[in-house]
Homo-oligomer: A and B are copies of this chain.
Amino acid sequence: MEVMEQALEQTSSYRWHANGQSAFGEDLLSLYRKLDGLFLRLAGLYRAREYQFPTFISARELAKLDYFTSFPQIVTFPVCLDAGEDNLQAFSDGSPLDGDGQVRLTATAPVREVLTPAACYHLYIHLQGQRLDGPRHLTTRNTCFRRETHYLPLQRQWSFSMREIVCLGSAEEVKRFLESARERVARIFAQIKLPIDWKPATDPFFRPQRSAKYLVQRLDPVKTEMVFEDRLAIGSVNLHRNYFGEAFDIRRGDEAAFSGCVAFGLERWMFAFLSRFGPSAGDWPDLDTLRVL
């Protein structure tokens, strides 16, 4: 691992920000785009419609998922100063940062938004209240934000990119999609010789032992991760059952729609690539000519 991090430091196209984020140039930006292009080609096999959503999600929508009680430790809120002129003046006059680089906030405006924690939430909100007359495939990529206790370059970041391919439909339609997508992803790993194991997993609930949802996930695993070299999950296949269908009143026939998604963490895929194939772009497998089938 350390070797990889030293290599990263020597790459002029990478810079790690101590606040848990990465900057890319040249080769790494090209790798980022090629990986996303690969996932988009996979999405294309399902004729998934692509959407681009904003950075913020309405807190009221997210509350329908009990997000704030399940993951309070992760959430990042966008906060502005109260717009009153006296308040802005007080902020501006009062030396806005302390010696430690910490912002001395004065009164803040009401908070009604959250920085996107998972790309696919936007899609369920988008489809809210709809009746589907067949399975629906969609895809989106977004920057996602999750506060952690510590950060590691490409592996664990406050903000990172997530591409998701989602299916909504009947239980059968969603399960068929997830099986098919998992097989196709496995063929990608086999073609580029990336050492990946599939492992059941659970989401990082706050106080898991007290969370009914965590216990349900333990009893009947619905999340399977793509684990690189036994140490880093670079993606996952998730069956949500009718959880989002019920929360957002999306129906398939007479029932709340089922949903499932395949999620790819772009920076973590980059980490796996750099670890496995080295820091030189010339040594990486050619993703543009890789056949997704």
Contact = CB atoms under 8 A, between A and B. Distances in A.
Interface of A: 15, 17, 19, 21-26, 29, 32, 49-56, 58-60, 63, 68-69, 72-73, 75-81, 83, 85, 88-89, 91-92, 96-97, 100-103, 105, 109-115, 122, 126, 143, 145, 147, 149, 158-159, 206-207
9 contacts: A21-B56, A23-B51, A23-B126, A24-B52, A25-B49, A55-B145, A77-B78, A83-B149, A103-B114
Task: Specify the main secondary structure of chain A where it touches its partner.
Answer: mixed
Given A76-B80, A101-B59, A32 B54 contact: no
A21 B55 contact: yes
Contacts of A49: 25-26
Nearest to A122: B23
Contact of A112 (B26, B63, B75, B103): B103
A126 B15 contact: yes
Contacts of A19: 54, 56, 58, 112-113
B73 A83 contact: yes
Given A68-B97, A101-B59, A145 B112 contact: no
B80 A68 contact: no
How many copies of the shown chain assemble into the complex? Answer: 2
A232 B25 CA distance: 32
A54 B112 contact: no
Contacts of A122: 23
A207 B115 CA distance: 30
Question: Which interface residue of A32, A54, A159 has the most chain B CB atoms within 10 A?
Answer: A54
A154 to B, nearest CB: 12
B32 A52 contact: yes
A24 B50 CA distance: 9
B54 A26 contact: no
In the A-B complex, the 6 residue pairs with the closest CB atoms: A21-B54, A68-B96, A60-B101, A103-B111, A79-B79, A80-B147
A68 B102 CA distance: 12
A111 B102 contact: yes
Contacts of A89: 207
